[in-house]
């Protein structure tokens, strides 16, 4: 677990907003593996497994330039590296510490910074090695002789009599302890064995290299040469004579003969010189492929190109549309691209790449680059080279945000500032933006700026030495034209200076010179000299450093732009929100997505790490991680812009109190744990330490959230775009109009959109109201109400804030809401039911009424409570609350002045009582499952408006609960401190409110309340309080359960109606007895167990007339002390209803 | 040409073209600058820079035209080009509704981010693909030939109403036939306020104005000879 804690640390670092968004670890400290891969241009599947200092000896036969040491051959000291499938040697010091661990990062020690195969040496795929022998050497040296498949075709290997074959053989003297040498050799042995199977594949890949054809003995040249690009058909650009193509070809042929070709090529100084003077046309593609490392990609998956094409054949995409538009305008001056052949190749390569790298897709300028590549190489070669370009050489250049391009412009500008301060100052003064000139240079790798022949010369060097070449050339261009540029004072002049310079690159740099040699130097040659001599200080690592320095500014720029654009394009709904709100929403939206992606990544990394330790596979997982760490940041390119349900919850939890879970430790909703986030689930189980929600609070999961999500998800794609979120929020928050909000809330629960919400929906609505209010109401609430409670506070020792008791009373409002909804439920409204089922209803009504009255008489205590209920319809939940402040209740039940009774309803108590009784009767009918019922929007509106608190809720508190801009200040610690206070204060408020009501109710309640309170007093207040609100929300759920039960009962007891009715009566009486008992010795019913089911009794209140029976239980329950009898009573209550109904 | 109009005051106007890919931005410029049309125009990488002069009765305007790339991902480069622009041509394709939406986005972007007082013209291009009399009135050989019917998807009224709301100049053009192309630029030239010309780079660059202006006066001549220009106004 030690490693795990460090992982958590890392996760926290990453998630820390102050640093998490900036540079990733992998930027500052690239892993050894990635440095290794860049240095040798190897695929990302390769990791440095072993390394050892060694001396490479190339025997005389292989040595190119005769000279002094012909007998000894050439010797190079450097480092030998072994990866899974490659043996690489380079004289360039590697950029990483030998001691660096394989997976994590290290400090740069070399100057190359993974700069590419600049030095001398080789990169042999292990499958290209034919034999390794350990040489018996004197003085205990450890030497290996390596012979390769170079030049040996499959057939030649078989008939070995073809003795004219010259085997390529090099000697490596390992310098290290015997142990180290042995270890290296063991690794090599293993690697060789593992790669034997790839020899045939390798030969197939090399067969497409022109060098194989070139070096073939004359008598075998009858076969068609491999595809060396469109140039073979349409001629290569430039005059071959002027380019001295033949001479170059001869030089290369000699070099390749001596030093191996393609896969088995050994880099010696001549190699680099040959590249500097420009590659011969037919070999250009192959050398590009080799130096860029794209040949290794091709070796890894030779059929990827063809496979991709066939796999996606016939499919369409946006990228393809974009490609189509540009096909006819890619190097249109080259004859090959005026033909169907050339266009077809270009189309296929671009299309295939857009499929394999959908994130990049297609970017204008790629067409030009690929068109250029296709002049010199086959489609497959160009395809892989494009991959190497986009992934490694110019990363981010063609991404959807083009951040790489913009970043390199910044880097270029700072280099200009540093190396040519005078010119830079001039640019600043004349307000000329350098990048308007230089951006196309970089983006199209000079292909679009210089005449093709020269652009290709730049590319020749670029592929070996990496992106620094683009900078060196760019700086040289400015340096050479410095004086003229100092005369230019605007973009136009600036551009025309450079345009004419590019047009004259083939002219003499010193036309007036006396020296003919000097006169023969072209401007391009001069450019190359200045670029690579004068600016030799521009290295890969200095570029990397500058990139690192500017990256953040560039990304934020892009992000600001993206944000601006996105916000402006959010559609008409967005006008309802302020710009600040939109900005904040944007930030929150992408913030959540980004963080989730990061977490996801970390978790995956960790899983991979674990998997690795169990499998003991080296480094495998590490590199995978390094590449993706930064994904998701808007500025970097395509990031998720879709929010799934879980992200939505997290998003809301960032700005709405009610969206934060009450019980963060409880396991998550199973469905979601099983769903796509399987690993989250499993992760939680094993390590609760790292929350899948990161540093933020765990969001709640409630049906309301799901409804909201579905409502906002207008096209039911199970994902929200920012636009949908904004439209959704705009309707709640934007209109600031109570009717709109009410309508919205109603529609939210109108499943089928028919303008009616059924019984189920009403319960859901009330659940939602409770859910939303459980952390207290926000917004502007009626001041009179507050002041009312304020008085109450005074008597309670000021332990309260005014608003909180409002919150408390809101619970009551919700209970009233349910009742009213049932009451006014439209078509089957009892009042309107004369036609529908008049007799039944009438009878039912009268019976119930009688019962009710009887109860009241028989049981004054129960009556008191019930009566209280009648007087104030609001107290469904308030009834629970005596528990909340038992002490208060016990101590000052009678001191509460009657005026404290909240008079939030408009009816006089008497009226209400009457109405309520009638209502309760009807409400029973409403609960009858056989009796369909629903409310319409007008009814809903009426019901809401009938209650001041509800009205205020919709008018202000609900919209205000979305803290778009400021967020939840206490978001970091909502679980503990803040939420708890809310709970407790609600509880206290509730308790007092209820007591006040009870007190107002002629003090009848004194006895039971006091008893219950006394019993509850000893319990931890906190535990009690915590449960109040959540329990309250179960009320409606239970009602529904009852209804179902009732339905079942109904079916079961269809016959035995009459008797049952009688027995129900009895039972009810019993229940009342029980209640009174409980009142007297509350202990009897105490027990924390089943608080939930106890709560269920609350629901009886909702059922109206039956309420009294369980009210007592409710009181108990409220105290958190409970009793099974409460539940019992409730059950019986419902049973009775059923019976009664069947009576008719 | 500059000589013949020597007495008239001459000033530079930076103009930027924006719009969705392949709506014909570059073609419009090419038509304006070279009175030419190419079917296969190399896509603009970043932005192309061209200049063209426009003679008004009282003055000569030299347009420095930034023709930007239309592909969506190049959008983030746009601020680099519309910086200090005094005029903008926002182009859409009459036959492609999405291009008008994009054009509206650009208008909004310019109104908020570009120099205040920038003159914006909304231009619906490819009129030659519609059956409009006006489009056919040009020197088109095969107006609407490819499309047997009217390919127009955006009515003149719709775009015009929008342009009026936003206070934009509005034109429907055909870069192919040349219809209304020069009119667009002339209208822009006329709409550029005298005051903004004095400061050479528009109010946005007011701080640097006096200095720039001086240099500009001196350098205008030699530079004109550099760029090959044909005046079509």
Q: Which among A814, A841, A1038, A1031 has a CA at the least distance from the CA of A923?
A: A841
- Among partner residues B41, B46, B73, which is closest to A401 by beta-carbon distance? B73
- Partners of A363 on chain B (C-beta within 8 Å) are 71, 73
pLDDT of residue A655 exceeding 70, the answer is: yes
pLDDT-based confidence at residue B134 (cuts at 50, 70, 90): low
- Among partner residues A492, A495, A562, which is closest to B76 by beta-carbon distance? A562
Between A339 and A63, the higher pLDDT residue: A339
Q: Which of A330, A434, A489, A579 to mutate to test the interface with B (most CBs of B within 10 A)?
A: A489
Q: Look at A440 and B45 and tell me if their CB atoms are within 8 Å.
A: yes
CA-based nearest residue in chain B for residue A488 = B219
Render the burial of A105-131: b for 16+ CB within 10 Å, e for the rest. bbebebebbbbbbbbbbbbbbbbbbbe
pLDDT tens-digit series, residues B170-220: 999 999 899 999 999 999 999 988 776 654 443 334 344 333 333 333 433
CA A99 – CA A97 distance, rounded (Å): 5
Name the token pair of A739: 């009717």
Return phi, psi of residue B62, to 5°.
Answer: -105, 115
pLDDT of residue B68 exceeding 80, the answer is: yes
Q: Which of B38, B45, B110, B111 to mutate to test the interface with A (most CBs of A within 10 A)?
A: B45
Sheet strands side by side (includes A142-148): A129-135, A142-148, A169-175, A50-58, A74-82, A86-90, A121-125, A266-267
DSSP string for A293-323? THHHHHHHSTTHHHHHHHHTTT---HHHHHH
Q: Which among A722, A720, A115, A730 has a CA at the least distance from the CA of A393?
A: A115
Angle at A712 between CA A708 and CA A717, to 5 degrees: 115
pLDDT of residue A252 exceeding 70, the answer is: yes
The pLDDT value given to residue A257:
86
Q: Is the pTM of this model over 0.95?
A: no
Return phi, psi of residue A57, to 5°.
Answer: -120, 120
Query: Which run of H or of E encompasses B14?
Result: strand B10-19
Residue B134 Cα, gap to closest chain A Cα (Å): 27
Maximum CA pair distance of chain B? 57
CA-based nearest residue in chain A for residue B63 = A492
CA-based nearest residue in chain A for residue B48 = A436
- Among partner residues A400, A493, A568, which is closest to B109 by beta-carbon distance? A568
Between A785 and B10, the higher pLDDT residue: B10
pLDDT tens-digit series, residues A317-348: 989 988 998 898 889 889 999 999 999 999 99
pLDDT tens-digit series, residues A1057-1075: 445 444 444 444 444 444 4
Residue B208 Cα, gap to closest chain A Cα (Å): 8
- For chain A, the average pLDDT equals 70
Q: Look at A564 and B112 and tell me if their CB atoms are within 8 Å.
A: yes
Maximum CA pair distance of chain A? 129
Task: Identify the contact set of chain A against chain B, taking CB-CB distances under 8 A.
Answer: 322, 325-326, 328-332, 363-365, 367-368, 399-402, 405-406, 429-431, 433, 435-436, 439-440, 443-444, 448, 489-493, 495-496, 500, 558, 561-562, 564-565, 568-569
Listed by number, the residues of chain B in 24-83 with a beta carbon closer than 8 Å to a beta carbon of chain A are 39-47, 49, 51, 64, 66, 69, 71-77, 79-81, 83
- Partners of A439 on chain B (C-beta within 8 Å) are 45-46, 77, 80
Average pLDDT for A621-630: 43
CA A207 – CA A597 distance, rounded (Å): 43
Determine the length of chain B.
Answer: 233
- Which range (A398-407, A529-538, A896-905, B23-32) has the least confidence? A896-905
- Among partner residues B41, B51, B79, which is closest to A561 by beta-carbon distance? B79
Size of interface A-B (CB pairs under 8 A): 111
- For chain B, the average pLDDT equals 77
pLDDT-based confidence at residue A451 (cuts at 50, 70, 90): very high
Q: Who contacts A752 (Cβ-Cβ below 8 Å, separation ≥6)? A: none
pLDDT of residue A629 exceeding 70, the answer is: no
Average pLDDT for A393-402: 90
CA A7 – CA A690 distance, rounded (Å): 10
- Among partner residues A326, A332, A492, which is closest to B64 by beta-carbon distance? A492
Q: Which of A328, A342, A487, A490 to mutate to test the interface with B (most CBs of B within 10 A)?
A: A490
pLDDT-based confidence at residue A819 (cuts at 50, 70, 90): confident
- Partners of B107 on chain A (C-beta within 8 Å) are none
- Partners of B74 on chain A (C-beta within 8 Å) are 364, 402
- Partners of B45 on chain A (C-beta within 8 Å) are 364-365, 368, 439-440, 443-444, 448
Q: How far is CA A59 from the centre of its chain?
A: 55
B113 inside 8 A of chain A by CB: yes
Q: Give the CA distances from residue A509 to residues A497, A513, A520, A523, in Å, rounded to whole numbers and listed in that order.
A: 16, 9, 8, 4
The pLDDT value given to residue B95:
93
- Partners of A569 on chain B (C-beta within 8 Å) are 105
Q: Which among B189, B160, B43 has a CA at the least distance from the CA of B92?
A: B160
pLDDT tens-digit series, residues A992-1020: 433 333 333 333 433 343 333 333 333 44
pLDDT-based confidence at residue A931 (cuts at 50, 70, 90): low
- Partners of B23 on chain A (C-beta within 8 Å) are none
pLDDT of residue A801 exceeding 70, the answer is: no
Q: Give the CA distances from residue B142 to residues B28, B128, B138, B147, in Å, rounded to whole numbers and listed in that order.
A: 18, 8, 11, 10
CA B73 – CA A360 distance, rounded (Å): 10
DSSP string for A923-985? HHHHH-TTS--EEEHHHHHHHHHTSHHHHHIIIIIHHHT--TTT--TTTTSIIIIIHHHHHHH
Q: Look at B73 and A368 and tell me if their CB atoms are within 8 Å.
A: no
- Partners of B42 on chain A (C-beta within 8 Å) are 329-332, 368, 448
CA-based nearest residue in chain A for residue B24 = A325
- Among partner residues B45, B112, B113, which is closest to A444 by beta-carbon distance? B45
- Partners of A431 on chain B (C-beta within 8 Å) are 84, 201, 205, 208, 212
The pLDDT value given to residue A1040:
61
Terminus-to-terminus CA distance in chain B, angstroms?
Answer: 11
Q: Look at B51 and A492 and tell me if their CB atoms are within 8 Å.
A: yes
Q: How far is CA A972 from the centre of its chain?
A: 20
pLDDT of residue A86 exceeding 90, the answer is: yes
pLDDT tens-digit series, residues A685-712: 334 345 566 666 677 777 788 888 888 8
Q: Which of B18, B27, B39, B46 to mutate to test the interface with A (most CBs of A within 10 A)?
A: B46
DSSP state of A800: S
Q: Give the CA distances from residue B165 to residues A472, A1008, B169, in Å, rounded to whole numbers and listed in that order.
A: 50, 72, 11
Between A636 and A46, the higher pLDDT residue: A46
Q: Look at A326 and B226 and tell me if their CB atoms are within 8 Å.
A: no
H helices present in B50-193, as ranges: 78-82, 97-113, 133-136, 156-166, 181-191
Task: Please state, as a whole number, how many other Cβ atoms lie within 10 Å of the Cβ of residue A550.
Answer: 18
CA-based nearest residue in chain B for residue A557 = B76
Q: Who contacts A67 (Cβ-Cβ below 8 Å, separation ≥6)? A: none
Name the token pair of A320: 């393809």
CA A1118 – CA A1113 distance, rounded (Å): 8
ipTM of the complex: 0.78
- Among partner residues B14, B105, B201, which is closest to A568 by beta-carbon distance? B105
Contact A961, A755 (CB under 8 A): no
Residue B176 Cα, gap to closest chain A Cα (Å): 17
For chain B, what is the radius of gyration of the CA atoms? 17
The percent of residues in chain A predicted with pLDDT above 70, rounded, is: 58
- Partners of A364 on chain B (C-beta within 8 Å) are 21, 43-45, 69, 71, 74
Residue A666 Cα, gap to closest chain B Cα (Å): 45
Q: Which of B20, B43, B126 to mutate to test the interface with A (most CBs of A within 10 A)?
A: B43
Contact A498, A481 (CB under 8 A): yes
Average pLDDT for A256-284: 90
pLDDT of residue A842 exceeding 70, the answer is: no
- Which range (A121-125, A233-237, B174-178, B193-197) has the least confidence? B193-197
3-state DSSP of A518-567: HHHCEHHHHHHHHHHHHCCCCCHHHHHHHHHHHHHHHHHHHHHHHHHHHH
B112 inside 8 A of chain A by CB: yes
- Among partner residues B47, B113, B216, which is closest to A436 by beta-carbon distance? B47
Task: Please state, as a whole number, how many other Cβ atoms lie within 10 Å of the Cβ of residue A10.
Answer: 14
């Amino acid at each position: 677990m030690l490693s795990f804690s460090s992982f958590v640390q890392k996760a926290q670092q990453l998630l820390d907003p102050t640093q998490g968004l900036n540079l990733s670890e992998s930027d500052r400290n690239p892993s050894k593996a990635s440095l290794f891969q860049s240095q040798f241009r190897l695929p990302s599947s390769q990791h440095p497994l072993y390394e050892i200092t060694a001396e490479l000896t190339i025997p005389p036969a292989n040595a190119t330039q005769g000279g002094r040491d012909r007998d000894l051959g050439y010797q190079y000291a450097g480092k030998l590296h072994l990866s899974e499938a490659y043996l690489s040697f380079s004289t360039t010091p590697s950029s990483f510490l030998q001691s660096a661990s394989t997976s994590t990062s290290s400090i740069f020690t070399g100057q190359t910074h993974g700069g590419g195969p600049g030095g001398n040496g080789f990169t042999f795929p292990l499958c290209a090695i034919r034999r390794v022998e350990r040489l018996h050497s004197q003085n205990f040296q450890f030497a290996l002789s390596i012979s390769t498949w170079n030049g040996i075709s499959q057939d030649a290997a078989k008939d070995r009599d073809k003795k004219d074959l010259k085997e390529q053989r090099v000697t490596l003297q390992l310098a290290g302890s015997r142990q180290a040498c042995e270890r290296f050799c063991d690794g090599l042995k293993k690697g060789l064995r593992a790669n034997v199977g790839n020899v045939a594949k390798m030969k197939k890949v090399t067969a497409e290299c022109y060098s194989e054809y070139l070096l073939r003995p004359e008598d075998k040249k009858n076969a068609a040469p491999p595809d060396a690009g469109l140039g073979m058909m349409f001629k290569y650009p430039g005059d071959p004579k002027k380019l001295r193509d033949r001479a170059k070809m001869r030089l290369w042929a000699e070099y390749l003969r001596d030093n191996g070709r393609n896969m088995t090529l050994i880099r010696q100084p001549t190699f680099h010189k040959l590249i500097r003077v420009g590659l011969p046309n037919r070999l250009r593609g192959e050398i590009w492929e080799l130096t860029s490392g794209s040949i290794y990609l091709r070796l890894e998956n030779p059929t990827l190109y063809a496979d991709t094409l066939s796999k996606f054949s016939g499919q369409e995409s946006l990228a393809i549309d974009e490609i189509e538009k540009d096909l006819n305008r890619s190097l249109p001056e080259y004859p090959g691209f005026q033909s169907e052949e050339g266009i077809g190749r270009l189309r296929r390569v671009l299309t295939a790449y857009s499929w394999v790298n959908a994130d990049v897709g297609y970017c204008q300028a790629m067409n030009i680059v690929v068109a250029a590549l296709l002049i010199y190489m086959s489609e497959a070669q160009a395809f892989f080279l494009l991959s190497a370009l986009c992934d490694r050489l110019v990363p981010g250049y063609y991404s959807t945000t083009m951040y790489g391009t913009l970043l390199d412009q910044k880097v270029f500008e700072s280099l200009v500032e540093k190396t040519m301060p005078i010119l830079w100052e001039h640019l600043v003064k004349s307000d000329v933006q350098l990048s308007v000139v230089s951006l196309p240079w970089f983006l199209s790798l000079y292909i679009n700026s210089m005449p093709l022949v020269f652009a290709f010369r730049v590319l020749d060097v670029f592929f070996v030495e990496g992106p620094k070449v683009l900078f060196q050339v760019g700086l040289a261009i400015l340096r050479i034209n410095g004086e003229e540029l100092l005369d230019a004072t605007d973009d136009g002049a600036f551009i025309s200076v450079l345009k004419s310079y590019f047009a004259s690159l083939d002219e003499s740099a010193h036309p007036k010179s006396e020296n003919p040699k000097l006169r023969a130097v072209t401007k391009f040659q001069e450019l190359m000299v200045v670029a690579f001599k004068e600016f030799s200080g521009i290295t890969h690592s200095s570029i990397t450093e500058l990139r690192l320095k500017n990256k953040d500014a560039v990304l934020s720029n892009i992000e600001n732009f993206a944000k601006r654009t996105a916000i402006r394009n959010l559609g008409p709904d967005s006008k309802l929100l302020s710009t600040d709100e939109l900005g904040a929403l944007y930030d929150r939206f992408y913030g959540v997505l980004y963080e989730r992606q990061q977490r996801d990544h970390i978790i995956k990394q960790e899983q991979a790490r674990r998997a690795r330790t169990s499998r003991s596979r080296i480094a495998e997982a590490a590199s995978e991680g390094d590449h993706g760490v930064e994904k998701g940041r808007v500025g970097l390119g395509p990031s998720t812009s879709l929010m799934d349900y879980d992200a939505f919850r997290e998003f809301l939890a960032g700005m709405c109190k009610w969206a934060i879970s009450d019980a963060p430790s409880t396991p998550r909703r199973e469905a979601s744990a099983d769903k796509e986030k399987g690993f989250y689930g499993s992760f939680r189980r094993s390590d609760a330490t790292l929350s899948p929600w990161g540093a933020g609070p765990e969001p709640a999961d409630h049906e309301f959230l799901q409804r909201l999500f579905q409502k906002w998800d207008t096209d039911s794609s199970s994902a929200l775009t920012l636009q949908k979120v904004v439209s959704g929020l705009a309707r709640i928050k934007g209109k600031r109009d109570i009717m709109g909000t009410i309508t919205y809330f109603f529609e939210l629960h109108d499943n089928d959109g028919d303008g009616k919400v059924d019984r189920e929906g009403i319960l859901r609505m009330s659940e939602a109201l409770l859910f939303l209010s459980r952390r207290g109401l926000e917004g502007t609430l009626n001041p009179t109400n507050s002041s009312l409670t304020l008085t109450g506070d005074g008597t309670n020792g000021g332990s309260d804030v005014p608003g909180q008791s409002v919150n408390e009373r809101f619970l009551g409002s919700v209970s009233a809401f349910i009742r009213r909804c049932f009451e006014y439920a439209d078509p089957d409204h009892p009042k309107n039911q004369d036609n529908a089922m008049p007799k039944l209803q009438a009878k039912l009504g009268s019976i119930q009424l009688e019962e009710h009255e009887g109860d009241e008489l028989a049981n004054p205590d129960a009556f008191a409570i019930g009566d209280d209920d009648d007087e104030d319809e609001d107290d469904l939940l308030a009834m629970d609350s005596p528990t909340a402040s038992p002490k208060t209740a016990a101590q000052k039940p009678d001191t509460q002045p009657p005026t404290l009774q909240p008079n939030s309803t408009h009816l006089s108590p008497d009226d209400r009582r009457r109405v309520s009784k009638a209502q309760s009767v009807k409400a029973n009918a409403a609960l009858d499952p056989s009796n369909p019922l629903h409310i319409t929007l007008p009814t809903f509106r009426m019901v809401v408006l009938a209650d001041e608190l509800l009205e205020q809720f919709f008018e202000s508190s609900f919209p205000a609960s979305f803290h778009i801009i400021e967020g939840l200040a206490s978001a970091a610690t909502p679980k503990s401190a803040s939420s708890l206070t809310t709970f407790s204060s609600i509880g206290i408020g509730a308790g007092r409110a209820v007591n006040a009501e009870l007190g107002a109710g002629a003090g009848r309640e004194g006895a039971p309340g006091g008893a219950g309170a006394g019993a509850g007093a000893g319990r931890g207040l906190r535990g009690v309080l915590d449960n109040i609100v959540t329990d309250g929300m179960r009320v409606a759920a239970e009602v529904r359960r009852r209804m179902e039960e009732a339905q079942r009962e109904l079916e079961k007891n269809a016959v035995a109606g009459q008797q049952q009715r009688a027995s129900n009566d009895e039972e009810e009486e019993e229940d009342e007895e029980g209640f009174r008992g409980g009142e007297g010795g509350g202990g009897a019913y105490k027990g924390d167990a089943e608080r939930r089911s106890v709560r269920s009794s609350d629901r009886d209140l909702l059922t109206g007339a039956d309420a009294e029976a369980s009210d007592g239980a409710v009181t108990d329950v409220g105290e958190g002390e409970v009793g099974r009898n409460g539940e019992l009573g409730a059950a019986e209550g419902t049973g009775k209803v059923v019976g009664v109904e069947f009576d008719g | 040409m500059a000589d013949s109009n020597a007495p008239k005051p001459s000033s530079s106007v930076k103009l930027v073209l924006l719009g969705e890919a392949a709506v014909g931005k570059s073609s419009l410029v090419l038509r304006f600058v070279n009175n030419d049309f190419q079917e296969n125009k190399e896509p603009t990488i970043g932005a192309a820079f061209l200049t063209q002069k426009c003679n008004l009765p009282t003055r000569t305007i030299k347009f420095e035209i930034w023709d930007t790339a239309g592909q969506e991902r190049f959008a983030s480069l746009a601020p680099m080009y519309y910086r200090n622009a005094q005029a903008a041509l926002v182009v859409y394709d009459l036959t492609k509704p999405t291009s008008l939406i994009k054009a509206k986005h650009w208008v909004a972007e310019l109104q908020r981010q570009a120099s205040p007082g920038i003159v914006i013209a909304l231009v619906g291009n490819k009129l030659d693909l519609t059956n409009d009399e006006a489009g056919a009135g040009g020197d088109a050989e095969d107006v609407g030939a490819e499309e047997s019917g009217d390919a127009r998807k955006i009515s003149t009224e719709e775009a015009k109403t929008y342009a009026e709301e936003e206070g934009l100049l509005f034109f429907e053009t055909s870069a192919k036939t040349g219809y209304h192309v020069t009119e667009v630029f002339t209208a822009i030239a006329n709409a550029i306020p005298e005051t903004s010309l004095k400061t050479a780079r528009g109010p946005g660059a007011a701080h640097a104005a006096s200095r720039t202006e001086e240099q500009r006066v001196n350098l205008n001549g030699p530079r004109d000879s550099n760029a090959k220009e044909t005046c079509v106004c």
